[in-house]
Chains A and B, each alone.
Chain A
Amino acid sequence: APAFAEKLGLGRPALPAEIAAWDVAVLPDGTGLPEGSGDVATGDEVFAEKCATCHGDFAEGIDNWPVLAGGEGSLKDRRPVKTIGSYWPHLSTVWDYIHRSMPFGAAQTVTPDEAYAITAFLLYSNGIVEDDFVLSKENFTSITMPNADGFYPDDRAESEYATFSGEACMTDCAAEVKVTKRAVTLNVTPTDPDGRPAGTLPNPDPV
């Protein structure tokens, strides 16, 4: 459409201060990290003040709040424990997510230095650094997370789509079919007062 090949001249240039305020993303190679640093002991203090009521004094999680440490080697277990230490591939994500979206309910109240300190404390809680470790913009990318190699891009096109494509069986596809699992045996669905699953349609034509 030639009419739209030209720019429309809508919007206005973003100012550096505006970009700095909103583009706080940190990439795996450290792009986006601000100046600053923080050590484990400081992180422990900040964590106790701002984080531990949900995530526990040792980042082990309280009640059903997310567990941030532990679970190493559990990814092939029947019930894996996926934490920063056992699962997350990049330290950048830890810093970025805490700085932007935590504490839950009071986000964007953590300074860059506090974010470095909390991140250092979480590395310590996960057994990745010693208790005197100081994390800074300069040494940030020297940290390799335990599960850094644990991910691969979507491979369904190679591993599944050929298997699941082609002529589907239409008749006499299985000799026998038996019920093996029933949701009613768990009985964990919200119910209406009459005991049926919540939202069950009323009988439009009751006898």
Chain B
Amino acid sequence: MSGTENKGTSRRAVLRGGLAAGAGLAVAGAARAEGTPDPLITEVQDWASSFGDPVDATPYGMPIRFESQVVRRNVEWLTESPVSSINFTPIHALEGTITPQGCAFERHHSGAIELSKPDYRLMIDGLVETPLVFTYEDLTRFPRETRTAFCECAANGGMEWGGAQLEGCQFTQGMIHNMEYVGVPLRLLLEEAGVKPEGKWVYAEGADASSNGRSMPLEKAMDDVLVAFYANGEALRKEHGYPVRLVVPGFEGNMWVKWLRRIGVYDQAVESREETSKYTDLMPDGRARKWTWVMDAKSVITSPSPQAPIYHGKGPLVITGLAWSGHGKVTRVDVSLDGGKNWQEAELTGEAQSKALTRFRLNIDWDGSELLLQSRAVDETGYVQPTKDALRAIRGTNSVYHNNGIQTWWVHENGEVENVEVA
């Protein structure tokens, strides 16, 4: 009754210009202002007269049904099994920087396991003075730290190395979430065990069948890595590692080991499956980079985007998006309306946090003409987000991971938006 259902208009019809034609909307808007009074105002609506839900209806709430499109999505053909697979955060529909946990992406290698706090154990062994076992309760007694950080899958955008493939930033940039974590610095746990001088590498593995073991240098482990048990105010979700995961700020998501069960200290890297066969980046000469841990500066315009077309016609238009860098703070985001010929600086909202998602916005007056929208992030090291072509000139098209190239959206006159590449 109040326009909450999706119209059954085909994409073809939309592309012909039927639904969101700017001129038609301008007329409609004027009619509403000057003509027939709006019955949503002049007639008493049911919700303004009778009761809504009581406070005991929903002990733990879900989004209102009208937001049912704001959910994780998966793409079946990307992987051979749904338990070693990926789904995507609906970043096209979100604002600000904090990702609601319930729609924050998942990536498992043997499914999301159920591990209770009483069953939980964390072992620290290897080159330490005293190998230790902690219960969950032990961990809650260590001093805590809070840190907001993005977790971006190394493969985010990997399907786009060869060209424009998937339609929507949920699919092309949505292997990411950003949460406020509370946990124990890994440094404190390692100090409790006492790392021996010959201990140079830390190997973390999970309690699940895949284990997902990864090696990291001791310096990173002693710097800003958290053994986290709260995210966005509450316990981790099952699918995000309940009850304990590793938070590795700025590093590729694969290293954020979930259901963390063991930290081994070694004198060398383990060179596990997830850092040899996978998460190594093939280069044009047939050799491959390994240990590409940091996620470089990146951004995407989340609206308008293919899943967030412009329905409202010409006039004021909010361009909004996300920027982030594994090297530190985002200091600037530029936006282009013409495919990179000309750029203007967007506004960063809130205080940019290091290695965390940052929201940017640019308000424009859209004249209804075609746009080629791009965003370009700059971080505090001076690194400027490259184009896909600039990356491919160095890396070729088979590196699978670490695609932080500039995204282009082709905005049509009817408000529809396409994923394209330009040259």
Q: Which A positions have Cβ atoms within 8 angstroms of B? A: 4, 7-8, 10-14, 18-19, 22-23, 25-29, 31, 63-66, 75-76, 79-80, 82, 84, 87-90, 92-93, 96-97, 100-101, 104-105, 107-108, 150-156, 159-161, 163-166, 168-174, 177-184, 186, 188-207
Smallest Cβ distance from B262 to chain A, in angstroms?
5
Smallest Cβ distance from B91 to chain A, in angstroms?
10
Stretch of B48-56, B220-228, B267-275, B356-364 that contacts chain A: B267-275
> What A residues does B19 contact at CB under 8 A?
203
> What B residues does A7 contact at CB under 8 A?
191-192, 194
Whole-angstrom CA separation of A131 from B188 in the bound complex = 51
Q: Can you list 24 A-B contacts (CB < 8 A)?
A: A4-B188, A11-B124, A11-B138, A22-B123, A76-B286, A79-B398, A82-B282, A90-B271, A153-B289, A154-B292, A159-B394, A170-B344, A172-B341, A177-B341, A177-B372, A182-B410, A189-B167, A197-B168, A198-B168, A199-B168, A201-B307, A203-B6, A203-B311, A206-B7
- Interface pair A178/B423, CB less than 8 Å apart: yes
Smallest Cβ distance from A23 to chain B, in angstroms?
5
- Interface pair A152/B131, CB less than 8 Å apart: no
Any chain A CB within 8 A of the CB of B92? yes
> What A residues does B163 contact at CB under 8 A?
181
Smallest Cβ distance from A6 to chain B, in angstroms?
10
> What B residues does A79 contact at CB under 8 A?
398
> What B residues does A179 contact at CB under 8 A?
372, 410, 420-422
Smallest Cβ distance from B149 to chain A, in angstroms?
20
- Interface pair A188/B423, CB less than 8 Å apart: no
A25 in contact with B270 given A93-B277, A197-B306, A202-B6 (CB within 8 Å): yes
Any chain A CB within 8 A of the CB of B97? no
Identity of the chain A residue whose Cβ is nearest the Cβ of B400 in the assembled complex: A82
Identity of the chain A residue whose Cβ is nearest the Cβ of B213 in the assembled complex: A25
- Interface pair A184/B418, CB less than 8 Å apart: yes
A203 in contact with B20 given A11-B132, A165-B381, A168-B376 (CB within 8 Å): yes
- Interface pair A155/B289, CB less than 8 Å apart: yes
- Interface pair B192/A8, CB less than 8 Å apart: yes
- Interface pair B307/A200, CB less than 8 Å apart: yes
Whole-angstrom CA separation of A198 from B75 in the bound complex = 10
The main secondary structure of chain A at its interface with chain B is loop
Interface string of B127-170 (1 = CB under 8 A from A): 00011111000100111000000000000000000011111101
- Interface pair A199/B170, CB less than 8 Å apart: yes
Whole-angstrom CA separation of A58 from B213 in the bound complex = 27
Smallest Cβ distance from B206 to chain A, in angstroms?
11
Question: Given contacts A165-B383, A181-B163, could you give 10 more A-B pairs where the C-beta distance is less than 8 Å?
Answer: A173-B341, A174-B340, A177-B341, A177-B372, A183-B165, A194-B7, A201-B308, A202-B5, A207-B24, A207-B28
Smallest Cβ distance from B380 to chain A, in angstroms?
11
- Interface pair A14/B132, CB less than 8 Å apart: yes
Whole-angstrom CA separation of A26 from B6 in the bound complex = 55
> What B residues does A23 contact at CB under 8 A?
123, 125-126, 262, 264
Interface string of B1-30 (1 = CB under 8 A from A): 001111111111010000110001100100
Whole-angstrom CA separation of A19 from B312 in the bound complex = 62
- Interface pair B285/A76, CB less than 8 Å apart: yes
> What A residues does B421 contact at CB under 8 A?
179-181
Any chain A CB within 8 A of the CB of B291? yes
- Interface pair B211/A100, CB less than 8 Å apart: yes
Whole-angstrom CA separation of A89 from B269 in the bound complex = 13
Any chain A CB within 8 A of the CB of B349? no
- Interface pair A150/B168, CB less than 8 Å apart: no
> What A residues does B24 contact at CB under 8 A?
207
Whole-angstrom CA separation of A118 from B180 in the bound complex = 44
Any chain A CB within 8 A of the CB of B42? no
- Interface pair A166/B6, CB less than 8 Å apart: no
Identity of the chain B residue whose Cβ is nearest the Cβ of A107 in the assembled complex: B209
- Interface pair B271/A190, CB less than 8 Å apart: no
Whole-angstrom CA separation of A193 from B344 in the bound complex = 38
- Interface pair A104/B262, CB less than 8 Å apart: no
Smallest Cβ distance from B264 to chain A, in angstroms?
6
A170 in contact with B290 given A164-B390, A180-B421, A181-B420 (CB within 8 Å): no
